[in-house]
Chain A
Protein backbone atom coordinates (compact mmCIF):
# COMPACT_ATOMS: atom_id res chain seq x y z
CA UNK A 1 0.00 0.00 0.00
CA UNK A 2 1.48 3.32 -1.05
CA UNK A 3 -0.79 5.50 1.10
CA UNK A 4 -2.70 4.63 4.22
CA UNK A 5 -6.44 5.25 4.21
CA UNK A 6 -6.13 8.32 6.42
CA UNK A 7 -3.39 9.83 4.21
CA UNK A 8 -5.54 9.35 1.14
CA UNK A 9 -8.55 10.83 2.96
CA UNK A 10 -6.73 14.03 3.83
CA UNK A 11 -5.23 14.32 0.36
CA UNK A 12 -8.71 14.11 -1.17
CA UNK A 13 -10.08 16.48 1.48
CA UNK A 14 -7.40 18.99 0.51
CA UNK A 15 -8.45 18.70 -3.11
CA UNK A 16 -12.15 19.11 -2.27
CA UNK A 17 -11.35 22.09 0.00
CA UNK A 18 -9.55 23.74 -2.87
CA UNK A 19 -12.51 23.15 -5.19
CA UNK A 20 -14.90 24.47 -2.54
CA UNK A 21 -12.83 27.64 -2.14
CA UNK A 22 -12.75 28.20 -5.89
CA UNK A 23 -16.48 27.53 -6.08
CA UNK A 24 -17.14 30.05 -3.34
CA UNK A 25 -14.96 32.68 -5.05
CA UNK A 26 -16.61 32.07 -8.40
CA UNK A 27 -20.04 32.30 -6.78
CA UNK A 28 -19.03 35.55 -5.15
CA UNK A 29 -18.00 36.92 -8.51
CA UNK A 30 -21.25 35.83 -10.16
CA UNK A 31 -23.64 37.11 -7.54
CA UNK A 32 -22.03 39.27 -4.90
CA UNK A 33 -22.37 37.38 -1.61
CA UNK A 34 -23.09 39.40 1.51
CA UNK A 35 -21.68 38.20 4.86
CA UNK A 36 -24.90 36.32 5.70
CA UNK A 37 -25.04 34.23 2.52
CA UNK A 38 -21.27 33.74 2.55
CA UNK A 39 -21.28 32.51 6.15
CA UNK A 40 -24.14 30.08 5.55
CA UNK A 41 -22.49 28.59 2.47
CA UNK A 42 -19.06 28.59 4.13
CA UNK A 43 -20.37 26.86 7.25
CA UNK A 44 -22.28 24.36 5.11
CA UNK A 45 -19.15 23.57 3.08
CA UNK A 46 -17.06 23.21 6.25
CA UNK A 47 -19.64 20.85 7.80
CA UNK A 48 -19.77 18.79 4.62
CA UNK A 49 -15.99 18.42 4.63
CA UNK A 50 -16.05 17.57 8.33
CA UNK A 51 -18.78 15.01 7.66
CA UNK A 52 -16.66 13.33 4.97
CA UNK A 53 -13.59 13.39 7.22
CA UNK A 54 -15.49 11.98 10.24
CA UNK A 55 -17.38 9.30 8.39
CA UNK A 56 -14.45 8.01 6.35
CA UNK A 57 -12.27 7.99 9.49
CA UNK A 58 -14.94 6.03 11.34
CA UNK A 59 -15.07 3.45 8.56
CA UNK A 60 -11.28 3.24 8.60
CA UNK A 61 -11.24 2.61 12.36
CA UNK A 62 -13.93 -0.06 11.94
CA UNK A 63 -16.89 1.74 13.53
CA UNK A 64 -19.62 1.81 10.83
CA UNK A 65 -22.30 3.07 13.22
CA UNK A 66 -20.21 6.11 14.06
CA UNK A 67 -19.82 6.69 10.32
CA UNK A 68 -23.60 6.59 9.75
CA UNK A 69 -24.23 8.85 12.71
CA UNK A 70 -21.58 11.22 11.39
CA UNK A 71 -23.54 11.51 8.13
CA UNK A 72 -26.75 12.23 10.05
CA UNK A 73 -25.29 14.64 12.61
CA UNK A 74 -22.88 16.58 10.37
CA UNK A 75 -24.02 15.75 6.83
CA UNK A 76 -27.69 16.69 7.16
CA UNK A 77 -27.10 20.19 8.58
CA UNK A 78 -24.39 20.65 5.96
CA UNK A 79 -26.80 19.91 3.13
CA UNK A 80 -29.51 22.10 4.65
CA UNK A 81 -27.11 25.03 5.07
CA UNK A 82 -25.66 24.62 1.58
CA UNK A 83 -29.09 24.38 -0.05
CA UNK A 84 -30.35 27.38 1.88
CA UNK A 85 -27.21 29.42 1.21
CA UNK A 86 -27.11 28.62 -2.49
CA UNK A 87 -30.84 29.34 -2.93
CA UNK A 88 -30.34 32.70 -1.23
CA UNK A 89 -27.26 33.45 -3.33
CA UNK A 90 -28.74 32.45 -6.69
CA UNK A 91 -32.16 33.99 -6.07
CA UNK A 92 -32.90 36.61 -8.74
CA UNK A 93 -33.61 39.93 -7.15
Chain B
Protein backbone atom coordinates (compact mmCIF):
# COMPACT_ATOMS: atom_id res chain seq x y z
CA UNK B 1 0.00 0.00 0.00
CA UNK B 2 1.34 3.40 -0.97
CA UNK B 3 2.16 5.70 1.89
CA UNK B 4 1.30 9.43 1.97
CA UNK B 5 4.94 10.20 1.34
CA UNK B 6 4.98 8.02 -1.79
CA UNK B 7 1.84 9.72 -3.10
CA UNK B 8 3.37 13.16 -2.59
CA UNK B 9 6.52 11.97 -4.37
CA UNK B 10 4.51 10.59 -7.32
CA UNK B 11 2.46 13.77 -7.62
CA UNK B 12 5.62 15.83 -7.50
CA UNK B 13 7.06 13.60 -10.27
CA UNK B 14 4.08 14.22 -12.53
CA UNK B 15 4.25 17.96 -11.89
CA UNK B 16 7.93 17.95 -12.65
CA UNK B 17 7.24 15.96 -15.79
CA UNK B 18 4.71 18.54 -16.96
CA UNK B 19 7.05 21.39 -16.08
CA UNK B 20 9.88 19.84 -18.04
CA UNK B 21 7.57 19.10 -20.94
CA UNK B 22 6.30 22.67 -21.01
CA UNK B 23 9.82 24.04 -20.76
CA UNK B 24 10.86 21.79 -23.67
CA UNK B 25 7.94 22.98 -25.78
CA UNK B 26 8.75 26.64 -25.04
CA UNK B 27 12.41 26.11 -25.86
CA UNK B 28 11.51 24.27 -29.08
CA UNK B 29 9.11 27.01 -30.15
CA UNK B 30 11.71 29.67 -29.34
CA UNK B 31 14.26 27.75 -31.39
CA UNK B 32 11.93 27.51 -34.37
CA UNK B 33 11.05 31.19 -34.10
CA UNK B 34 14.73 32.11 -34.01
CA UNK B 35 15.41 30.37 -37.35
CA UNK B 36 12.17 30.83 -39.25
CA UNK B 37 13.45 30.31 -42.76
CA UNK B 38 16.14 27.73 -42.36
CA UNK B 39 16.21 24.28 -40.91
CA UNK B 40 18.62 23.93 -38.01
CA UNK B 41 20.46 21.22 -39.94
CA UNK B 42 21.10 23.57 -42.84
CA UNK B 43 22.49 26.23 -40.52
CA UNK B 44 24.71 23.67 -38.81
CA UNK B 45 25.92 22.35 -42.17
CA UNK B 46 26.70 25.86 -43.44
CA UNK B 47 28.59 26.80 -40.31
CA UNK B 48 30.64 23.60 -40.17
CA UNK B 49 31.42 23.89 -43.89
CA UNK B 50 33.12 27.21 -43.12
CA UNK B 51 35.52 25.39 -40.82
CA UNK B 52 36.34 22.77 -43.45
CA UNK B 53 36.17 24.41 -46.89
CA UNK B 54 38.79 27.15 -47.12
CA UNK B 55 38.71 29.56 -50.06
CA UNK B 56 42.19 30.42 -51.36
CA UNK B 57 43.51 33.49 -53.12
CA UNK B 58 45.97 31.67 -55.38
CA UNK B 59 45.99 28.47 -57.40
CA UNK B 60 46.65 25.86 -54.71
CA UNK B 61 49.06 23.65 -56.66
CA UNK B 62 52.77 24.35 -56.96
CA UNK B 63 53.79 25.12 -60.56
CA UNK B 64 57.39 24.96 -61.73
CA UNK B 65 58.78 28.13 -63.41
CA UNK B 66 59.76 25.99 -66.42
CA UNK B 67 56.23 24.60 -66.86
CA UNK B 68 55.30 24.38 -70.54
CA UNK B 69 51.86 24.23 -72.07
CA UNK B 70 50.75 20.77 -73.10
CA UNK B 71 50.15 19.89 -76.71
CA UNK B 72 46.91 18.00 -77.27
CA UNK B 73 48.77 15.82 -79.74
CA UNK B 74 50.37 14.13 -76.74
CA UNK B 75 47.24 12.93 -75.04
CA UNK B 76 46.73 9.17 -75.13
CA UNK B 77 43.48 9.62 -77.08
CA UNK B 78 45.16 11.76 -79.75
CA UNK B 79 48.02 9.31 -80.19
CA UNK B 80 45.73 6.29 -80.26
CA UNK B 81 42.88 7.61 -82.41
CA UNK B 82 45.15 9.83 -84.50
CA UNK B 83 47.36 6.83 -85.27
CA UNK B 84 50.55 8.55 -84.08
CA UNK B 85 51.44 5.50 -82.01
CA UNK B 86 50.64 2.51 -84.30
CA UNK B 87 50.69 -0.09 -81.50
CA UNK B 88 48.34 1.99 -79.37
CA UNK B 89 46.18 2.74 -82.41
CA UNK B 90 45.82 -1.00 -83.07
CA UNK B 91 44.64 -1.51 -79.49
CA UNK B 92 42.29 1.47 -79.74
CA UNK B 93 40.62 -0.12 -82.75
CA UNK B 94 39.60 -3.05 -80.55
CA UNK B 95 37.89 -0.73 -78.05
CA UNK B 96 34.09 -0.86 -77.98
CA UNK B 97 33.98 -4.15 -79.91
CA UNK B 98 30.60 -5.89 -79.82
CA UNK B 99 31.30 -8.73 -77.43
CA UNK B 100 28.77 -9.79 -74.83
CA UNK B 101 28.57 -12.59 -72.29
CA UNK B 102 25.19 -13.54 -70.82
CA UNK B 103 26.82 -15.43 -67.95
CA UNK B 104 28.76 -12.40 -66.75
CA UNK B 105 26.78 -9.69 -64.92
CA UNK B 106 27.68 -6.29 -66.32
CA UNK B 107 28.65 -7.64 -69.72
CA UNK B 108 25.34 -8.88 -71.09
CA UNK B 109 23.48 -7.68 -74.14
CA UNK B 110 21.32 -5.43 -71.97
CA UNK B 111 24.38 -3.80 -70.38
CA UNK B 112 25.83 -3.27 -73.84
CA UNK B 113 22.60 -1.62 -74.99
CA UNK B 114 22.64 0.65 -71.91
CA UNK B 115 26.20 1.62 -72.82
CA UNK B 116 25.18 2.69 -76.31
CA UNK B 117 21.94 4.34 -75.26
CA UNK B 118 23.79 6.45 -72.71
CA UNK B 119 26.52 7.59 -75.08
CA UNK B 120 24.08 8.23 -77.95
CA UNK B 121 23.64 12.01 -77.48
CA UNK B 122 27.38 12.54 -77.04
CA UNK B 123 28.22 10.62 -80.19
CA UNK B 124 25.46 12.22 -82.27
CA UNK B 125 25.73 15.80 -81.01
CA UNK B 126 29.47 16.15 -80.44
CA UNK B 127 31.10 13.40 -82.53
CA UNK B 128 34.63 12.56 -81.42
CA UNK B 129 34.65 14.97 -78.48
CA UNK B 130 35.16 12.14 -76.02
CA UNK B 131 38.68 11.73 -77.31
CA UNK B 132 39.21 15.47 -77.48
CA UNK B 133 38.13 16.38 -81.03
CA UNK B 134 37.75 20.17 -81.07
CA UNK B 135 35.17 22.16 -83.06
CA UNK B 136 32.70 19.33 -83.49
CA UNK B 137 28.88 19.36 -83.52
CA UNK B 138 27.41 21.25 -80.58
CA UNK B 139 31.00 22.03 -79.51
CA UNK B 140 31.43 23.91 -82.79
CA UNK B 141 33.42 27.16 -82.82
CA UNK B 142 30.94 28.95 -85.12
CA UNK B 143 29.86 32.41 -83.95
CA UNK B 144 27.15 33.14 -86.50
CA UNK B 145 25.46 36.52 -86.49
CA UNK B 146 21.66 36.74 -86.64
CA UNK B 147 21.73 37.34 -90.41
CA UNK B 148 23.66 34.09 -90.87
CA UNK B 149 20.96 31.92 -89.28
CA UNK B 150 19.86 29.07 -91.47
CA UNK B 151 16.21 29.65 -90.53
CA UNK B 152 14.10 30.89 -87.63
CA UNK B 153 14.61 27.60 -85.79
CA UNK B 154 18.37 28.18 -85.57
CA UNK B 155 18.93 29.70 -82.13
CA UNK B 156 22.70 29.28 -82.07
CA UNK B 157 23.82 32.80 -83.01
CA UNK B 158 25.45 35.79 -81.30
CA UNK B 159 22.95 38.57 -80.66
CA UNK B 160 24.02 42.00 -81.95
CA UNK B 161 22.78 43.70 -78.79
CA UNK B 162 24.98 42.91 -75.84
CA UNK B 163 23.31 42.76 -72.44
CA UNK B 164 25.27 44.75 -69.86
CA UNK B 165 25.07 43.49 -66.30
CA UNK B 166 24.95 45.99 -63.45
CA UNK B 167 27.48 44.20 -61.28
CA UNK B 168 29.93 41.33 -61.68
CA UNK B 169 28.15 39.46 -58.90
CA UNK B 170 24.87 39.72 -60.79
CA UNK B 171 26.47 38.40 -63.98
CA UNK B 172 27.97 35.49 -62.12
CA UNK B 173 24.72 34.67 -60.34
CA UNK B 174 22.71 34.79 -63.58
CA UNK B 175 25.16 32.50 -65.41
CA UNK B 176 25.15 29.99 -62.56
CA UNK B 177 21.37 30.00 -62.24
CA UNK B 178 21.00 29.44 -65.97
CA UNK B 179 23.58 26.63 -65.90
CA UNK B 180 21.70 24.95 -63.05
CA UNK B 181 18.50 25.31 -65.10
CA UNK B 182 20.29 23.53 -67.95
CA UNK B 183 20.97 20.63 -65.51
CA UNK B 184 24.49 21.49 -64.37
CA UNK B 185 25.10 20.04 -60.91
CA UNK B 186 28.17 22.21 -60.35
CA UNK B 187 29.18 25.55 -61.86
CA UNK B 188 32.26 27.65 -61.28
CA UNK B 189 33.76 30.55 -63.22
CA UNK B 190 37.49 31.05 -63.71
CA UNK B 191 39.51 33.52 -65.75
CA UNK B 192 40.89 31.99 -68.93
CA UNK B 193 44.46 30.86 -68.26
CA UNK B 194 46.62 29.92 -71.24
CA UNK B 195 48.63 27.59 -69.01
CA UNK B 196 45.68 25.19 -68.86
CA UNK B 197 44.77 25.46 -72.54
CA UNK B 198 46.30 23.05 -75.01
CA UNK B 199 49.22 24.63 -76.80
CA UNK B 200 47.68 23.43 -80.05
CA UNK B 201 44.40 21.68 -80.73
CA UNK B 202 44.56 18.27 -82.37
CA UNK B 203 41.97 16.80 -84.70
CA UNK B 204 42.51 13.10 -84.11
CA UNK B 205 40.43 11.94 -87.07
CA UNK B 206 42.71 13.58 -89.65
CA UNK B 207 45.88 14.24 -87.63
CA UNK B 208 45.60 18.01 -88.13
CA UNK B 209 46.97 20.48 -85.56
CA UNK B 210 45.18 23.80 -85.14
CA UNK B 211 46.64 26.88 -83.45
CA UNK B 212 44.73 29.28 -81.23
CA UNK B 213 44.97 31.95 -83.95
CA UNK B 214 42.20 30.04 -85.72
CA UNK B 215 39.89 30.27 -82.74
CA UNK B 216 37.12 32.79 -83.52
CA UNK B 217 37.64 35.12 -80.53
CA UNK B 218 39.91 35.82 -77.57
CA UNK B 219 38.42 33.93 -74.61
CA UNK B 220 38.51 35.80 -71.32
CA UNK B 221 36.57 33.52 -68.97
CA UNK B 222 35.88 29.82 -68.68
CA UNK B 223 32.67 28.56 -67.12
CA UNK B 224 33.29 25.13 -65.68
CA UNK B 225 30.31 22.79 -65.44
CA UNK B 226 30.11 19.60 -63.42
CA UNK B 227 27.58 16.89 -64.24
CA UNK B 228 26.96 14.20 -61.64
CA UNK B 229 27.17 10.52 -62.57
CA UNK B 230 24.74 8.07 -60.97
CA UNK B 231 26.11 6.51 -57.75
CA UNK B 232 24.33 3.19 -58.11
CA UNK B 233 25.51 2.76 -61.69
CA UNK B 234 29.05 3.86 -60.85
CA UNK B 235 29.25 1.04 -58.29
CA UNK B 236 29.24 -1.45 -61.20
CA UNK B 237 32.72 -0.45 -62.42
CA UNK B 238 34.39 -1.81 -64.42
CA UNK B 239 31.69 -3.13 -66.76
CA UNK B 240 29.53 -2.22 -69.73
CA UNK B 241 26.94 -1.13 -67.18
CA UNK B 242 29.20 1.63 -65.84
CA UNK B 243 29.40 3.03 -69.36
CA UNK B 244 25.80 3.98 -68.61
CA UNK B 245 26.87 6.49 -65.96
CA UNK B 246 29.87 7.69 -67.96
CA UNK B 247 28.01 7.99 -71.28
CA UNK B 248 25.07 9.67 -69.62
CA UNK B 249 27.50 12.14 -68.00
CA UNK B 250 29.11 12.91 -71.36
CA UNK B 251 25.73 13.27 -73.05
CA UNK B 252 24.52 15.65 -70.34
CA UNK B 253 27.79 17.61 -70.66
CA UNK B 254 26.99 18.21 -74.33
CA UNK B 255 23.41 19.29 -73.61
CA UNK B 256 24.24 21.59 -70.68
CA UNK B 257 27.36 23.21 -72.15
CA UNK B 258 25.67 23.77 -75.51
CA UNK B 259 22.57 25.32 -73.95
CA UNK B 260 24.71 27.58 -71.75
CA UNK B 261 26.78 28.67 -74.75
CA UNK B 262 23.58 29.59 -76.65
CA UNK B 263 22.35 31.46 -73.54
CA UNK B 264 25.54 33.55 -73.52
CA UNK B 265 25.38 34.12 -77.27
CA UNK B 266 21.82 35.36 -76.93
CA UNK B 267 23.08 37.87 -74.35
CA UNK B 268 25.51 39.08 -77.02
CA UNK B 269 28.67 37.35 -75.83
CA UNK B 270 30.77 34.98 -77.89
CA UNK B 271 30.87 31.49 -76.46
CA UNK B 272 32.07 27.98 -77.30
CA UNK B 273 31.00 24.87 -75.43
CA UNK B 274 33.68 22.24 -74.94
CA UNK B 275 34.14 18.83 -73.40
CA UNK B 276 37.58 17.26 -73.24
CA UNK B 277 38.99 19.58 -75.92
CA UNK B 278 40.46 23.11 -75.80
CA UNK B 279 42.02 22.85 -72.35
CA UNK B 280 42.59 20.62 -69.38
CA UNK B 281 39.43 20.34 -67.33
CA UNK B 282 40.96 19.48 -63.94
CA UNK B 283 43.08 22.64 -63.45
CA UNK B 284 40.21 24.76 -64.73
CA UNK B 285 37.93 23.00 -62.25
CA UNK B 286 40.40 23.75 -59.44
CA UNK B 287 40.67 27.39 -60.52
CA UNK B 288 36.87 27.66 -60.61
CA UNK B 289 36.61 26.40 -57.03
CA UNK B 290 34.95 23.10 -57.85
CA UNK B 291 37.43 20.94 -55.96
CA UNK B 292 40.95 19.68 -55.46
CA UNK B 293 43.10 17.41 -57.61
CA UNK B 294 43.22 13.85 -56.27
CA UNK B 295 45.70 10.99 -56.50
CA UNK B 296 43.62 9.44 -59.30
CA UNK B 297 44.26 12.48 -61.50
CA UNK B 298 40.63 13.57 -61.19
CA UNK B 299 38.95 16.62 -59.72
CA UNK B 300 37.51 15.79 -56.30
CA UNK B 301 34.44 17.81 -55.39
CA UNK B 302 33.11 18.30 -51.86
CA UNK B 303 29.66 16.93 -52.71
CA UNK B 304 30.28 14.36 -55.43
CA UNK B 305 33.91 13.37 -54.92
CA UNK B 306 35.28 12.35 -58.34
CA UNK B 307 31.83 11.13 -59.53
CA UNK B 308 31.09 13.86 -62.04
CA UNK B 309 32.06 14.92 -65.56
CA UNK B 310 33.44 18.29 -66.53
CA UNK B 311 32.43 20.47 -69.47
CA UNK B 312 33.56 24.03 -70.12
CA UNK B 313 32.25 27.09 -71.89
CA UNK B 314 34.84 29.55 -73.18
CA UNK B 315 33.51 33.09 -73.53
CA UNK B 316 34.72 36.62 -74.21
CA UNK B 317 32.68 37.89 -71.27
CA UNK B 318 34.90 39.18 -68.48
CA UNK B 319 32.55 41.38 -66.46
CA UNK B 320 31.94 38.52 -64.08
CA UNK B 321 32.86 37.57 -60.53
CA UNK B 322 35.37 34.74 -60.56
CA UNK B 323 35.29 31.91 -58.07
CA UNK B 324 38.21 31.18 -55.80
CA UNK B 325 40.00 27.84 -55.54
CA UNK B 326 39.15 25.88 -52.40
CA UNK B 327 40.84 23.44 -50.08
CA UNK B 328 39.05 20.87 -47.93
CA UNK B 329 41.77 18.36 -47.18
CA UNK B 330 41.69 16.14 -50.27
CA UNK B 331 45.42 16.20 -50.95
CA UNK B 332 46.25 15.35 -47.34
CA UNK B 333 43.71 12.52 -47.38
CA UNK B 334 44.98 11.16 -50.72
CA UNK B 335 48.52 10.90 -49.32
CA UNK B 336 47.47 8.15 -46.94
CA UNK B 337 44.36 6.69 -48.53
CA UNK B 338 45.55 5.23 -51.87
CA UNK B 339 42.33 3.24 -52.36
CA UNK B 340 42.24 4.22 -56.04
CA UNK B 341 45.82 3.03 -56.52
CA UNK B 342 44.95 -0.31 -54.90
CA UNK B 343 41.75 -0.69 -56.93
CA UNK B 344 43.29 0.25 -60.30
CA UNK B 345 43.39 -3.00 -62.31
CA UNK B 346 46.25 -1.76 -64.51
CA UNK B 347 48.26 -0.30 -61.61
CA UNK B 348 48.35 3.04 -63.42
CA UNK B 349 47.97 5.19 -60.30
CA UNK B 350 51.20 5.85 -58.39
CA UNK B 351 51.61 5.03 -54.73
CA UNK B 352 54.21 7.61 -53.73
CA UNK B 353 52.93 9.35 -50.62
CA UNK B 354 53.75 12.93 -51.60
CA UNK B 355 52.78 14.48 -54.94
CA UNK B 356 55.73 15.22 -57.21
CA UNK B 357 56.70 17.65 -59.96
CA UNK B 358 57.31 14.87 -62.49
CA UNK B 359 56.06 11.33 -63.18
CA UNK B 360 57.15 8.54 -60.83
CA UNK B 361 55.41 5.57 -62.46
CA UNK B 362 58.53 4.50 -64.33
CA UNK B 363 56.86 3.95 -67.72
CA UNK B 364 56.68 6.12 -70.83
CA UNK B 365 55.94 9.74 -69.95
CA UNK B 366 55.02 11.50 -73.21
CA UNK B 367 51.39 11.79 -72.03
CA UNK B 368 52.39 13.51 -68.76
CA UNK B 369 53.07 17.24 -68.54
CA UNK B 370 55.70 17.78 -65.82
CA UNK B 371 56.07 20.94 -63.76
CA UNK B 372 52.91 20.63 -61.69
CA UNK B 373 52.95 19.20 -58.18
CA UNK B 374 50.55 16.27 -58.38
CA UNK B 375 50.33 12.49 -58.71
CA UNK B 376 51.10 11.53 -62.30
CA UNK B 377 49.06 8.60 -63.56
CA UNK B 378 50.22 6.29 -66.34
CA UNK B 379 47.60 7.19 -68.94
CA UNK B 380 48.95 4.71 -71.45
CA UNK B 381 48.59 1.58 -69.31
CA UNK B 382 45.21 2.92 -68.17
CA UNK B 383 43.99 3.22 -71.76
CA UNK B 384 45.47 -0.16 -72.70
CA UNK B 385 43.37 -1.70 -69.92
CA UNK B 386 40.29 0.02 -71.32
CA UNK B 387 40.94 -1.64 -74.68
CA UNK B 388 41.59 -5.02 -73.07
CA UNK B 389 38.51 -4.85 -70.82
CA UNK B 390 36.43 -3.20 -73.57
CA UNK B 391 35.04 -0.52 -71.24
CA UNK B 392 36.15 2.74 -69.64
CA UNK B 393 36.86 1.07 -66.26
CA UNK B 394 36.23 3.96 -63.78
CA UNK B 395 37.46 1.86 -60.83
CA UNK B 396 39.36 4.92 -59.57
CA UNK B 397 36.08 6.84 -59.29
CA UNK B 398 34.11 4.03 -57.67
CA UNK B 399 36.78 3.18 -55.10
CA UNK B 400 37.42 6.77 -53.98
CA UNK B 401 36.17 7.36 -50.41
CA UNK B 402 34.90 10.78 -51.52
CA UNK B 403 32.49 9.00 -53.87
CA UNK B 404 29.43 8.75 -51.69
CA UNK B 405 25.70 9.41 -52.00
CA UNK B 406 24.55 12.77 -50.67
CA UNK B 407 23.77 11.70 -47.10
CA UNK B 408 24.45 13.51 -43.84
CA UNK B 409 26.69 10.81 -42.32
CA UNK B 410 29.21 10.97 -45.18
CA UNK B 411 29.44 14.71 -44.87
CA UNK B 412 30.02 14.27 -41.14
CA UNK B 413 32.83 11.78 -41.78
CA UNK B 414 34.36 14.08 -44.43
CA UNK B 415 34.31 17.01 -42.04
CA UNK B 416 35.82 15.05 -39.16
CA UNK B 417 38.44 13.67 -41.53
CA UNK B 418 39.33 17.12 -42.90
CA UNK B 419 39.87 18.50 -39.39
CA UNK B 420 41.95 15.55 -38.16
CA UNK B 421 45.60 14.72 -38.74
CA UNK B 422 47.07 12.00 -40.99
CA UNK B 423 46.70 8.82 -38.89
CA UNK B 424 42.93 9.43 -38.74
CA UNK B 425 42.91 9.39 -42.56
CA UNK B 426 44.44 5.92 -42.56
CA UNK B 427 41.78 4.81 -40.06
CA UNK B 428 39.02 6.34 -42.20
CA UNK B 429 40.34 4.50 -45.25
CA UNK B 430 40.18 1.18 -43.37
CA UNK B 431 36.68 1.96 -42.07
CA UNK B 432 35.59 2.77 -45.62
CA UNK B 433 36.64 -0.73 -46.66
CA UNK B 434 35.11 -2.44 -43.60
CA UNK B 435 31.81 -0.63 -44.11
CA UNK B 436 31.67 -1.99 -47.65
CA UNK B 437 32.06 1.18 -49.70
CA UNK B 438 33.99 1.50 -52.93
CA UNK B 439 34.07 -2.15 -54.00
CA UNK B 440 34.95 -2.71 -57.66
CA UNK B 441 34.35 -5.79 -59.83
CA UNK B 442 31.18 -6.16 -57.79
CA UNK B 443 28.65 -8.34 -59.63
CA UNK B 444 26.09 -7.72 -56.88
CA UNK B 445 26.20 -4.01 -57.75
CA UNK B 446 25.17 -4.84 -61.32
CA UNK B 447 22.26 -6.97 -60.09
CA UNK B 448 21.28 -4.19 -57.69
CA UNK B 449 21.35 -1.62 -60.49
CA UNK B 450 18.94 -3.68 -62.60
CA UNK B 451 16.76 -4.90 -59.71
CA UNK B 452 13.15 -3.78 -59.98
CA UNK B 453 12.34 -4.02 -56.26
CA UNK B 454 11.11 -0.81 -54.61
CA UNK B 455 11.34 1.24 -57.77
CA UNK B 456 8.39 3.22 -58.98
CA UNK B 457 8.01 4.63 -62.43
CA UNK B 458 4.46 5.93 -62.55
CA UNK B 459 4.72 8.75 -60.02
CA UNK B 460 2.41 7.14 -57.44
Contact = CB atoms under 8 A, between A and B. Distances in A.
A25 B21 CA distance: 11
Closest 10 CB pairs of A and B: A65-B436, A66-B435, A61-B405, A69-B435, A61-B407, A57-B407, A57-B409, A54-B409, A66-B436, A69-B434
Interface of A: 6, 10, 18, 21-22, 25-26, 29, 53-54, 57-58, 60-63, 65-66, 69-70
Interface residues of B, number: 17
Contact of A63 (B13, B24, B41, B437): B437
A69 B20 contact: no
Contacts of B405: 61-62
10 contacts: A10-B41, A18-B24, A21-B24, A25-B20, A29-B16, A58-B409, A62-B405, A65-B435, A66-B436, A69-B434
Interface string B423-459: 0000000000011110000000000100000000000
A6 B407 CA distance: 9
B17 interface: yes
B318 interface: no
B16 A53 contact: no
A69 B437 CA distance: 11
A66 B438 CA distance: 11
Interface string B3-25: 00000000001001100110010
Given A18-B24, A29-B13, A69-B436, A62 B408 contact: no
A34 B434 CA distance: 37
Interface of chain B, main secondary structure: helix
A64 to B, nearest CB: 8
Contacts of A21: 24
Contacts of B232: 62
B435 A57 contact: no
Given A18-B24, A60-B407, A62-B448, A26 B434 contact: no
A6 B13 CA distance: 35
A56 to B, nearest CB: 10
A22 B17 contact: yes
A47 to B, nearest CB: 14
A46 B234 CA distance: 34
A63 B20 contact: no
A71 to B, nearest CB: 11
Nearest to A66: B435
Contacts of A61: 405, 407
A30 B13 CA distance: 10
Contact of A26 (B13, B407, B408): B13
Contacts of B408: 6, 57
A60 B405 CA distance: 10
- Residue from the set B20, B232, B435 with the largest chain A CB neighbour count within 10 Å: B435
Contacts of B24: 18, 21
Nearest to A30: B13
A63 B437 CA distance: 8
B437 A66 contact: yes
A22 B20 contact: yes
A54 B17 CA distance: 30
A10 B434 CA distance: 26
Contacts of B16: 25, 29
- Residue from the set A21, A22, A66 with the largest chain B CB neighbour count within 10 Å: A66
Nearest to A50: B409
Nearest to A54: B409
Contacts of A6: 407-408
Contacts of A57: 407-409
A57 B413 CA distance: 14
Contacts of A22: 17, 20-21
A46 B16 CA distance: 24
Nearest to B24: A18
Contacts of A69: 434-436
- Residue from the set A22, A54, A61, A65 with the largest chain B CB neighbour count within 10 Å: A61
A63 B409 contact: no
A62 B231 CA distance: 10
B145 to A, nearest CB: 49
Contacts of A26: 13, 17
Contacts of A54: 409
Contacts of B434: 69
A42 to B, nearest CB: 16
Contacts of A53: 409
A18 B13 CA distance: 17
Interface in B216-234: 232
Contacts of B409: 53-54, 57-58
Contacts of B17: 22, 26
A63 B409 CA distance: 13
Contacts of A65: 435-436
